[in-house]
Structure 1
C-alpha cells in the first residue's frame, strides 16, 4: 500500500478534461482517529459549544454535490444554491465507488479496477479561530494525497477514522491491507497514516475505532477468499499490531457497521456483535431468524451513533438488528416487484431511515418509541415491549420515475444524504437530474439539471452541529 502525492496533478486533470469532450456507499461517535489533527476539522463537541460561526460568505449552506459519470473519469461538482456546475475534476481513471470523508469536506473516489483511491476537496469547511469558527467556501479542487493498493474495495467512514480495505489478489499473490487516516491526512496537515498488512488476500471489511481497528481475518490455507474470523488491532506508530482474535466465528464475512459502543459484521449464519467498553472488547452472535430461507444471509449493515439499532440487508429485504435483544426484526418494506435495493441508511440525525429500490421507489421511515404513544403503558404491560425501543413506520413512499419510463442500460438511481438539513438528493439517470426531497414532508423541493447521466452521488459541505455521520459500505 502506497500513499503519495500526485505528480503534475493539475496538468493531468486538464488533459483528462480535454480528452473526455464533455461532463457528467456511517459516521459513528467514537474516539477521534489516531491519524487525525485537531486543527484540521472541528469535533462535534466543539461545534455544539460554538455560538459565533461566521458563514455570511458561504453561499452553498445546503452543501455541494459531487457527481460521477459511468462514461468517463471526470467528476463534476454542483452548487445547490445556484443549481449549476461549478467545477469539473479529472481523475486517473473512472471510479467504481464514491464516499464522503468524516466531516464531508472531501470525496473519496475508489478506482478498484486500477488499484487507486483519489480525493477531491469540495471547498466547504469549518476552521477554528480562537473562541469561534469561520466557515469557508473555496473552489473545489483535486488534492495530492492518494492511495495506491491492490483492489481497494470496502471503505468505512466514521469519527474514528476512514478505513480503506484492499482485497489483494489471489492470482498475483498480493496480500490484503487496511489503511486508516482522516481529513488531516487528506488535506496534508498530517502524515500519520496507519496501516495493517495481512499475510494473505481476502475480501474483507474493517472498522476504525480511534487507536483501535476491528477487522476481518482469514486463514491463508482456507479454500475461500472470504474471511471467517474477526480480530482486534492496536495502532503503534504507522502500523497496527494484532491484540485479540475473537472466539465468535463469522463464516463468509461481508459487510460491517458501528455505533457508539458496538461494531457488527455480517456472517453466513447471523451477525457478529463486538462490544467495546474502554479498551476492552467482547464478542457475541445474533443468529439468523428462522424465517430465513436457504441462501439468505446478512450482506451489509448500516449504523448511527444516535441509535442502538442497526439496519441490515439480505437480498432485497431489510431488517432491524437489536444487538442487546439478540434479534433481527423484519422492516415493513420490500422492493418493487422483486427489483434490487439501490440504497438504504439512516438520515444525518438518525431520526429517519431511507430506502430506494431500482424501480425508483423512495421510502422514508420515521422512528417512534412507546413513550411517544398515548397507550404506551398498556402496550408495555400487554406485550412486554421496552418503553424506549424505537419502532419504524413508513411516512412517505415516493415514485422517482413514471412507470412508463425505462432506465438506461447499465445505470441506476443513486442517493446522497444531506448532513445540513433533513433532506436527501437522488440522482436520476433517466431525466439527467438531481432531485432533492424533504424527509419530513416527502415533497420534491429542488431539481438540478445535469449535462451528463449521473452515476455516483456524494454530498459535500458543512454539517449541522448536531449531526451524526454514517458511511458504511
Structure 2
C-alpha cells in the first residue's frame, strides 16, 4: 500500500515519443530524467517487478511501453517475496533462505521541491547495499513514510539467531542504511507494525499453546533505537497477519482480531473483536481508514477447506461475514488485492475465477465475476500473484501455468491484455509515482 497523491500530469506528444523510445530500449539514461510539458511532471504508469520461479532473477517491466520490454537483474538467491518501498521507488527482494534483502531502484520517483512535486524517470538499477538478518519474513509498510522488516530469527542455527526488526525509508535505502533497529531476545515467527514513532512488535507468553505470539509490545522510537513502553494487555493467541490504516492497527488471532487504536503520538488503546474462526491474514488500504478485510480458513483436511472473509469496521467495533457471490464450499483464495482507490477488492479463487467486490457506502457489494480468468490453476506454488498500479486504473495478475501476465482495467473490470512472458512468473510488485 502506498500514499496516493492527485495527478498533475499533462502529456506532451514529444515527451510521450521519447518515453516510448526509451521504454523500448529497456529504460532511460541514469543521467537524464524525462519530463512533461510543465517541466516537472511525467505521465508514467510506472514499472512492474516480476520474479521468475526458482530463479535468482528479477525483471523490471516498463509499463509505458506497448510491449513488456524488460531490464533484468541477477540476485544472490531466488526471492521469497517482493515488496515496494514506502515512497514507491524501490523493490525490496526478500531472500528468506539467504538471510537478506536486496534492493532495486525502479527508476521512477517523485520529490517535494517545496513549490511543486518533481517527477523523475530514469533507468532501473541494482543497489549494492544489502540488508542482512536471520529469516526476513514479514514486511509492514506505513505508506509514504517507513517500512518495518521483521526477521524471524533461526532457532535451529548454532548459535541460535534471535528475531529482529529493522526500520527503513526510501531515503535510508538510497543512503544504504537503516533508520532504526530492535533486537529481540528469542527467535519467533512475528510481525512489527510501524506507526510514526510507535512500533508494535510481537511477544510470546510463557504459557502460549504453540510457537506463535500471544501479545503486542509497544515500543517508542528514540533516534536509531526503540524504547519499550509496555506490554498491551489484550491477549491474541495464534497471532498471525496484520495491517494498519487510519487510526487503527488490526492483528489476526485464533478467536478474532486484536485492535489497537492510536490515540496520539504515544498513547494506544487495545481491544478484541470476536470472529467465529481464526483470522490469519489482514488486508487494508490507506484510502479506507479503519476498514479491514479479515481472511481465514474453515474446515480441515481431509475434509473440505473453505476460505472465509470478514469485513472489519474498527471504529464501529464490528466483524461481519463477507460472502463473495457464488463462493462455494471448498473454494480457496489464491490471490487478492485492492485497486488503487481502495474501493474495489479483487479475489482470485482456486478455480481461476476472479470475483470483484465494490465499496458502496459502508458495505461491500458484488461488482463482477470473471470465470476462468486463469484458465489452468497450478497445483503447487507459485500461485498467481496480484499487484495494483498506483498511477492508473490497472491491476496485474500473473498466470504461472500459461507464463503470462494479465492486465485488468479496474474501472471497467475487464481483462485488456494477456502478455506472454517467456518464463514462469512468481512474485510481483509495482513501483512508481502513486496518483
TM-score range for the pair, normalised by the shorter chain length: 0.7 to 0.9
Normalising by structure 2, we get a TM-score of 0.84
Give the corresponding residue for 1:312. Answer: 294
Q: Is the 8 A contact 1:52 1:132 kept in 2?
A: no
Q: Which residue, out of 277, 297, 307, partners 2:278? A: 297
More displaced 10-residue stretch of structure 1: 339-348 or 224-233 = 339-348
Give the C-alpha shift of residue 187 in structure 1: 1.1
Q: 1:415 to 1:244 in 2, by over 3 A?
A: same
Q: 1:185 to 1:361 in 2, by over 3 A?
A: same
- C-alpha distance in 2, partners of 1:320/1:365? 12
- C-alpha distance in 2, partners of 1:245/1:409? 39
Q: Secondary structure at the match of 2:97?
A: helix
Give the corresponding residue for 1:80. Answer: 63
Describe how 1:270-349 pairs up with structure 2 within 5 A.
270-278=256-264, 279-288=266-275, 292=276, 296-307=277-288, 308-315=290-297, 316-333=307-324, 338-349=330-341
Q: Which residue, out of 152, 157, 167, partners 2:152? A: 167
Q: Secondary structure at the match of 1:185?
A: helix
Q: 1:80 to 1:363 in 2, by over 3 A?
A: same
Describe how 1:429-440 pairs up with structure 2 within 5 A.
429-440=400-411
| Structure 2 gap segments, 5+ residues each | 12-34, 298-306
Q: Is the 8 A contact 1:311 1:345 kept in 2?
A: no
The runs of at least 4 aligned residues of structure 1 exceeding 4 Å deviation read 47-54, 56-60, 220-223, 334-337, 400-403
Q: 1:306 to 1:60 in 2, by over 3 A?
A: closer
For residues 98-145 of structure 1, what are the alpha-carbon distances to aligned partners after superposition, in whole Å with 9 as ceiling and x for unaligned? 111112211111111111111111111113345223321111111123
Aligned pairs, number: 394
Q: Which residue, out of 61, 76, 82, partners 2:44? A: 61
- C-alpha distance in 1, partners of 2:211/2:149? 18
- C-alpha distance in 2, partners of 1:327/1:62? 37
- C-alpha distance in 2, partners of 1:50/1:70? 37
Q: CA RMSD in A?
A: 2.4
Q: Is the 8 A contact 1:258 1:303 kept in 2?
A: yes
Q: Which residue, out of 100, 122, 125, partners 2:84? A: 100
Give the corresponding residue for 1:41. Answer: none
Matched, 1:209 2:195: yes
Give the corresponding residue for 1:399. Answer: 371
For residues 139-187 of structure 1, what are the alpha-carbon distances to aligned partners after superposition, in whole Å with 9 as ceiling and x for unaligned? 1111123211111101111234101111112223211111111111111
Q: Which residue, out of 143, 161, 174, partners 2:127? A: 143
Q: Which has the higher contact order (CA 8 A, sep 6+)?
A: 1
Give the C-alpha shift of residue 338 in structure 1: 2.2
Matched, 1:414 2:385: yes
Matched, 1:176 2:158: no
Q: Is the 8 A contact 2:2 2:88 kept in 1?
A: no
- C-alpha distance in 1, partners of 2:10/2:416? 29
Give the C-alpha shift of residue 457 in structure 1: 1.2
Q: Is the 8 A contact 2:105 2:126 kept in 1?
A: yes
- C-alpha distance in 2, partners of 1:266/1:201? 20
| Structure 1 gap segments, 5+ residues each | 1-25, 29-43, 370-389, 465-473
Normalising by structure 1, we get a TM-score of 0.78
Q: Is the 8 A contact 1:336 1:361 kept in 2?
A: no
Q: 1:50 to 1:70 in 2, by over 3 A?
A: closer
- C-alpha distance in 1, partners of 2:342/2:319? 19
- C-alpha distance in 2, partners of 1:150/1:326? 37
Give the corresponding residue for 1:444. Answer: 415
- C-alpha distance in 2, partners of 1:234/1:139? 38
- C-alpha distance in 2, partners of 1:449/1:427? 10
Q: Is the 8 A contact 1:117 1:147 kept in 2?
A: yes
